[in-house]
Amino acid sequence: DAKTTQPTSMDCAEGRAANLPCNHSTISGNEYVYWYRQIHSQGPQYIIHGLKNNETNEMASLIITEDRKSSTLILPHATLRDTAVYYCIVRVHRAAGNKLTFGGGTRVLVKP
Amino acid sequence: DAGVIQSPRHEVTEMGQEVTLRCKPISGHNSLFWYRQTMMRGLELLIYFNNNVPIDDSGMPEDRFSAKMPNASFSTLKIQPSEPRDSAVYFCASSLLGQGADTQYFGPGTRLTVL
């Protein structure tokens, strides 16, 4: 699976959009980009995933560059409850199961 | 939907004792994963099952760790004997393989402390 690079931490103002970057320059054509987050003392939570098109759901938007070497997770209106560690993961869909390899993630602090 | 259920939520034991962690995956899911999280090593996969069969156990640290999945609705992770370095939060996750990109859903975790 391709390696990802994320900033270690970032702050965001409550009510503003939070833009979380992720670099995955060695991504292969059949690898998806996934985002999970982990709120303190909880299990990781799925946010969104995409292959090459931009995606949006009720939690966030995912913007993938045309060359697919980087992506940005956008939390449109950050709240205090969005304070968490955000993980960008790139992986291939495999028929026999598909483990997640977590890196260090980005620690996001939403401030009032 | 109850989500992934893990028990116990907290476990404190003494070195040398046997510890059994339990997981009930989401009904209908066919893949189950056990992860461990520590400050030093972050989140790491220990083992995963597909249709109750262990597929990859390369993350299991040593023979003291064993995992079973006797049926589609139950799995256990056993540590015998336990050591202080096994102290960590253990997460179970499940997914439905074959549906799109098989998103994993995590349980609340079991916080294990070995004294």
* Helix, strand or coil, per DSSP, at residue B28: coil
What are the DSSP calls for A66-88, one per residue? TTSSEEEEEETT--GGG-EEEEE
List of chain A residues whose C-beta atoms are within 8 Å of the C-beta of residue B67: none
Average pLDDT over residues A15-38: 93
- How sure is the predictor about A93, in pLDDT bands with cuts at 50, 70 and 90? low
DSSP SS3 for A27? coil
| Nearest CA among B5, B27, B26, B1 for reference residue B76 | B5
B30: left (phi over 0), alpha (psi -120 to 50) or beta: alpha
**Contact predicate A87/A44, CB 8 Å:** yes
Percent of chain A with pLDDT over 70: 93
In angstroms, the separation between the Cα of residue B8 and the nearest Cα of chain A is 14
Question: Could you read off the pLDDT of B11-38 as tens digits, one per residue?
Answer: 999 999 999 999 999 999 999 999 999 9
Is A55 in CB contact (< 8 Å) with chain B?
no
Q: Supply the pLDDT for residue A97.
A: 59
Q: Are B41 and B85 in contact (CB under 8 A)?
A: no
Instruction: For residue B115, give both structure tokens.
Output: 């004294």
Q: What is the mean pLDDT of residues A21-31?
A: 91
**Is residue A96 pLDDT above 60, yes or no?**
no
Asked if residues A88 and A34 have their Cβ atoms less than 8 Å apart, the reply is yes
Condensed to tens digits (0 to 9), the pLDDT of residues A45-71 reads 999 999 998 999 999 999 999 999 999
List of chain B residues whose C-beta atoms are within 8 Å of the C-beta of residue A46:
103-105
pLDDT at B62: 84
- CA-CA distance, A83 to A65, in Å (whole number)? 26
**A81 three-class SS:** helix
Distance CA A102, CA A61 (A): 20
Residues of B in contact with A44 (CB under 8 A): 43, 91, 93, 104, 106
- Could you tell me the two tokens for B28? 């209908």
| pLDDT higher than 80, residue B44 | yes
Q: Quick one: pLDDT at residue A1?
A: 66
Per-residue pLDDT of B85-110, as tens digits, reads 999 999 999 998 766 656 889 999 99
pLDDT computed for residue B114 by the predictor: 97
- Give the pairing of strands B110-114 and B10-13: parallel
Structure tokens at B70: 């006797």
Using CA atoms, how far apart are residues A55 and B37, in angstroms rounded to an integer?
A: 29
| Contact between B103 and A46 using a beta-carbon 8 Å cutoff | yes
Q: Is A57 near chain B, with CB under 8 Å?
A: no
A39 touches chain B (CB under 8 A): no
Please tell me which residue, B66 or A95, carries the higher pLDDT value.
B66
The share of chain A scoring above pLDDT 90, in percent, equals 76
